[in-house]
Chain A
Amino acid sequence: MELKIRKNGDVYIIDVTGEMDLYNSYKLKELVVKMLEKNVKNFVINLEQVDYIDSSGIGALIYICSTIKKMNLKLAISNIHGSVKKVIELTKLMGYFPIANSVEEALLMVKE
């Protein structure tokens, strides 16, 4: 799994590539924690290049989502598709996660 960061105004977009499974999901968690320590306030996690996620990956997203909510910061998760979307639907978390259909929509959501 690879993680890349880019900026759009004061919104940080994390582009995830590869698989978010039980061996590497912790990396995303760690990255977000680091960014929070650096006072990043607006996050977009772009899962366009992710084609596999398991319960650990979902767990990482849950952790990130709840931490950011607690700190009253902004988060949007964009471009979920295929089996990633399916797994989130199976866990019935579509309403729980702030999901956007595109990075553009995610940016709109976060900037509100």
Chain B
Amino acid sequence: MLQDLKELRSDENDPLFDKTNMLKKEFPSDFRQIRYFTLLIVQSAPTEIKELNILEQQISEVIKNAVKHGNHCDINKKVTVWYSFSSTHAHIIVQDEGEGFQELEKWNDFNRKRLECLHNNDFIELSNYVSFKTKESDSQDGGNALFAALEYWNGGFVYNGKRNAVAMLKKYQQKFHGANRDGE
């Protein structure tokens, strides 16, 4: 199961694209409002979710990709977000009006090489693989958001067929020390 997470997939029919019982919001592609949009989504998440900060940051990355790389910050283009939260999960779908993530395969190759360097503890070679840039990237782009996303969204991270929408699921564990398990 862990193995498929190391790679970006594109699957139109993945169950993560099922929008039943999800709330929806639409935003104009305004770069300056990315954190605001994220906040509007995350404010409905229950307070029990641990590390809300990280969840917020991960969602903002996906929305940023949609606004900046998908819709090219065109204020007339929309970003649609479907979302659903509980104390044990966070399920998000983000869709833009762009042509889709063209370099998906290139990204997978790049990531594979990156993981190899990590596996071999080769930090010198790794420095060539810390940041994924395309001709569209600028100096503000970190180029590392998707590396973190694949690790974070442990329930799946998948693009649709056209690659202009991405669905992701985070599953939260019960606390480890079993103090909450007394009821079992």
CB atoms of A and B under 8 A apart anywhere in the complex? Answer: yes
Q: Which residues of A contact B (CB under 8 A)?
A: 21-23, 25-26, 51-60, 62, 66, 69, 82-83, 86-87, 90-93, 95-96
Distance between Cα atoms of A68 and B140 in the complex (Å):
19
Q: In the complex, what distance in Å separates the CA atom of A13 from the CA atom of B74? A: 40
| Complex CA distance for A25 and B144, rounded to whole angstroms | 14
Q: B151: which A residues are within 8 A, CB to CB? A: 90-92
Closest to B53 in A: A83
Which of B51, B57, B61, B140 has the most chain A CB within a 10 Å cutoff?
B57
Which of chain B's residues have a CB closer than 8 A to the CB of A60? 142
A22 close to B34 (CB less than 8 A): yes
- Write the residues of chain B forming the contact surface with A, with a CB cutoff of 8 angstroms: 32, 34-35, 51, 53-54, 57, 60-61, 64, 118, 121, 123, 126-127, 130-131, 139-145, 147-148, 151-152
Q: Which of B61, B126, B145 has a CB less than 8 Å from the CB of A96?
A: B126
Top 8 closest A-B pairs, CB basis? A59-B142, A55-B142, A55-B145, A90-B148, A83-B53, A90-B151, A91-B148, A56-B142
Please determine whether A55 and B143 come into contact, CB atoms closer than 8 angstroms.
Answer: yes
A90-B151, A93-B130 as given contacts; A55 in contact with B144, CB under 8 Å: yes
Q: How far is the CA of A87 from the CA of B151 in the complex (A)?
A: 10
Query: In the bound complex, how far is the Cα of B34 from the Cα of A59, in angstroms?
Result: 18
**Smallest beta-carbon distance A68→chain B, Å:** 12
* 9 more CB-based (< 8 A) A-B contacts, given A53-B57, A55-B142: A22-B64, A51-B53, A82-B53, A90-B147, A91-B130, A91-B148, A92-B147, A95-B126, A96-B130
B129: nearest residue on chain A (CB-CB)?
A: A96
**CB <8 Å contact, A58 and B144:** yes
Tell me if A83 and B131 are in contact (CB < 8 A).
no
> What are 28 sample pairs from A and B whose C-beta atoms fall under 8 A apart?
A21-B35, A22-B34, A52-B53, A53-B57, A54-B60, A54-B61, A56-B140, A57-B142, A59-B131, A59-B142, A59-B144, A60-B142, A62-B130, A66-B130, A83-B51, A83-B57, A86-B54, A87-B57, A87-B148, A90-B151, A91-B130, A91-B144, A92-B147, A95-B121, A95-B123, A96-B123, A96-B127, A96-B130
Q: Are A66 and B127 in contact (CB under 8 A)?
A: yes
How far is A61 from B51 in the complex, measured between Cα atoms in Å? 22
Q: Is the CB of B142 within 8 A of A58?
A: yes
Separation of A66 and B143 alpha carbons in the complex (Å): 14
Contact A62 B142, beta carbon cutoff 8 Å:
yes
Whole-angstrom distance between the Cβ of A53 and the nearest chain B Cβ: 8
* CB–CB B61/A62 < 8 A: no
- Is A54 touching B131 in the complex (CB atoms < 8 A)? no
B64 CB contacts on chain A under 8 angstroms? 22
Known: A90-B151, A92-B118. A55 touches B126 (CB 8 A): no
